[in-house]
Structure 1
Amino acid sequence: MNINLKLKKMSFSIEIRFLGGLTQSQQTIFDDAARRWQEIITGELPSVQLANGDIIDNVRIDAQGAAIDGTSGILGQAGPTQLRAGSFLPATGIMRFDSADLVRLEAENSLIDVIIHEMGHVLGFGTLWSPQFLNLISGEGSENPFFVGESAIREYNSLNNNESLDSVPLANTGGAGTRDGHWRELTFDNELMTGFIDDGDNPISWLSIAAFEDMGYQVEYSAAEAYLLPDPTKMALKELKENNQCKMCDRRILRCDPIILPESAYLG
């Protein structure tokens, strides 16, 4: 992942609150991931006050490494935990991962992609699309789920050079943490927000940025990385390796059941 850390003031911000269990290099990766999303999401979110009195400007994520069950077991928990009333955009979230898996991912040089990817889920990608929140998915739980946000459909049409498509294919394979919450791997291959981390580059495309616009964020499309749809013939022969299944997003990643803050939480 090529991260361009622009030296400019960004109105949207992600505060990472480190709760222990992460090495300095791992903390740096979390900070780099937050900066990457701050390049993509630009509009400031309204401040809210939590029940404990904490004031949240934009988004705060609690990040932690912990001994859970060693490598290849339960990988951890990631997702939004408290949402703004009305918009359903996150105020707080959690990223808590097994220390042994963090070491493994860092050694494989895939931790930065995984943390950027999982932070996207904390911000709502795939975790807030259901009818109870943003209502951006059709066919949830079926063999053929689709994303129905207008901006993402526009970008999907552009990628296909086809103006007649009316939805974007979502993952219909994998565990509960993969299905419905990612772009479909056999359509989008190495795009970062599919359910599988590929070897080599995993770009964040205009398509993913458009999905965040559909969710209600103000976004910067110029922050996208170069991306083209893969050759369908190549994808028909691709073997989906379970070991690469999102590294964090298969059935072994625990999602959160977020609460919605009251309207009175808004400040000003």
Structure 2
Amino acid sequence: MESEGDIGVPAGGRAATTGRMVRGWRGVAVLASVVLAAAACAPDPPPPPATAPVVSSFGALGEPHVEPALVPLRWGVTDPQGDAMSCRLDGDGDGTWDETIDPCPPDVSRNVSAVDAGAHTARLEVSDGTNTTLATATYHVGTRIDPEPFDIVIRPSGTVDPDVLAAMQQAATRWERVVARGLGDVPVHLAAGSCGSGNAAFDGVVDDLVVDVSMKVIPPAAWAAPCVDGPDGLPRFGFVEFNPNLTGALLDAGMLDEVAGHELGHVLGFGVTWQDGRDVTGAGGTDPRFNGPRVRAENSLLRRSVDVPVMTVDGVMSPHWESVFLGPEIMATTPDGSALSRLTIASLADIGYAVDIGAADPYSPPLPAGTCIAFSATVTRCW
């Protein structure tokens, strides 16, 4: 029987060929391993360079501004990487950072008190922790023609409870600290009973506001309104009427001063001089909101993402903040409402007064931001 070598293959030839093949495959395997190892050791490609935050808008609202001005600044910012941002604001351009906002949301407003006339350049710095963007905005503040302080004259008509007069005088002093400058003189001519129902006749020049106070049996404990406006649209003459049957109870409950302050706020124009579209949105609906730029800035400071809710009664807008959300604020209707907040002062600036926002009382809303409450089966309001 022949061996494999006998059929034309040299003895040991298969073994030699097989050995060369094995060595060849081993060489390929080693080369592949080297290539893979080299690939594994190669560094990842560098990430694209981070870009700085983008300031899409930055400017002043609510012009014209007259000293001392409460200037609302608003800005919009984004970060291309989606990183959290912080903002620093120098509102009057004096070189000092007034506030740091961290985290800084995409849409922010802040009020700046500008006491001097002239050009002011606000600075905004936005950082994502790696890169920083600086933006500026210039606004102008004019000189006030009448630099006198604001004066409120309390005028009793008929017999007025001394405690009521004392409460009204105290309220006048409080509001005089809020309104920072006087108004232009205005001649006023009123017949008796033409402003409210108990006012005496008046014929004279008003500087800055005259408030007629009388006692009358009326359904509420008190009510008030302005009667005569100046050419600037701000009240010059108004009235407050107190129910004599309820003033004793108010005094015993420690609420007479609060009621006097609340009613005088209405004479100044809170709620009763608001215009739909200019100051309020949704005035004819179930969810009216105050949308003046200075109130919006204070709203932003409170981290609220929707405008301040205004009260409704039986589907009709009432000239008050919504008490459920605003709680103990003087221009809400809660029994313990005595805090004269920055929101209310800013609302006076939005209708045209020069104000001192620093005269505000300490105040915090009673409910967390974003709270929603069902007022009826079909109406839910949030703030």
> How big is the shift at 1:195?
2.6
Secondary structure, aligned partner of 2:312 = coil
> Which residue number in structure 2 is paired with residue 51 of structure 1?
189
Q: Is the 8 A contact 1:30 1:115 kept in 2?
A: yes
2:339 to 197, 203, 213: 203
Q: Is the 8 A contact 1:145 1:180 kept in 2?
A: no
> Which residue number in structure 2 is paired with residue 103 of structure 1?
248
CA distance in 2, matches of 1:180, 1:151: 21
**1:65-76 maps to which residues of 2 (within 5 A)?**
65-66=215-216, 68=217, 73-76=219-222
Q: Deviations over 1:218-245 (max 9, x none)?
A: 0011110111122349x889x9xxxxxx
Q: Deviations over 1:100-130 (max 9, x none)?
A: 1222211211010011011000100001103
Q: Is the 8 A contact 2:222 2:259 kept in 1?
A: no
Query: Is residue 280 of structure 2 the alignment partner of residue 137 of structure 1?
Result: yes
Q: Is the 8 A contact 1:186 1:236 kept in 2?
A: no
Higher normalized helix content (fraction of residues): 1
Query: Is residue 368 of structure 2 the alignment partner of residue 218 of structure 1?
Result: no
Gaps of 5+ in 2: 1-147, 191-202, 376-383
Q: Is the 8 A contact 1:206 1:221 kept in 2?
A: yes
Q: Deviations over 1:176-219 (max 9, x none)?
A: 5xx34111122211111113223xx6211111100000010000
Overall identity of the aligned pairs, in %:
28
| Range with bigger deviation, 95-104 or 114-123 | 95-104
CA distance in 1, matches of 2:278, 2:247: 33
> Which residue number in structure 1 is paired with residue 262 of structure 2?
117
Higher normalized strand content (fraction of residues): 2
> How big is the shift at 1:172?
2.9
**Change in CA separation of 1:141 and 1:104 when aligned onto 2, cut-off 3 Å:** farther
CA distance in 2, matches of 1:228, 1:215: 23
CA distance in 1, matches of 2:220, 2:366: 32
**Change in CA separation of 1:76 and 1:224 when aligned onto 2, cut-off 3 Å:** closer
Structure 1 letter corresponding to 2:188: L
Q: Deviations over 1:11-35 (max 9, x none)?
A: 0010011113322222111100000
CA distance in 1, matches of 2:257, 2:221: 16
Larger radius of gyration between Structure 1 and Structure 2 = 2
RMSD: 2.6
CA distance in 2, matches of 1:236, 1:135: 25
Q: Is the 8 A contact 2:279 2:290 kept in 1?
A: yes
Gaps of 5+ in 1: 1-9, 240-268
> Which residue number in structure 2 is paired with residue 153 of structure 1?
296
**1:79-90 maps to which residues of 2 (within 5 A)?**
79-85=225-231, 87-90=232-235
Alignment length (residue pairs):
215
**1:146-185 maps to which residues of 2 (within 5 A)?**
146-160=289-303, 165=305, 167-173=307-313, 179-185=317-323
1:186 to 324, 333, 340: 324
TM-score normalised to the size of structure 2?
Answer: 0.52
Q: Is the 8 A contact 1:188 1:230 kept in 2?
A: yes
**Change in CA separation of 1:74 and 1:185 when aligned onto 2, cut-off 3 Å:** closer
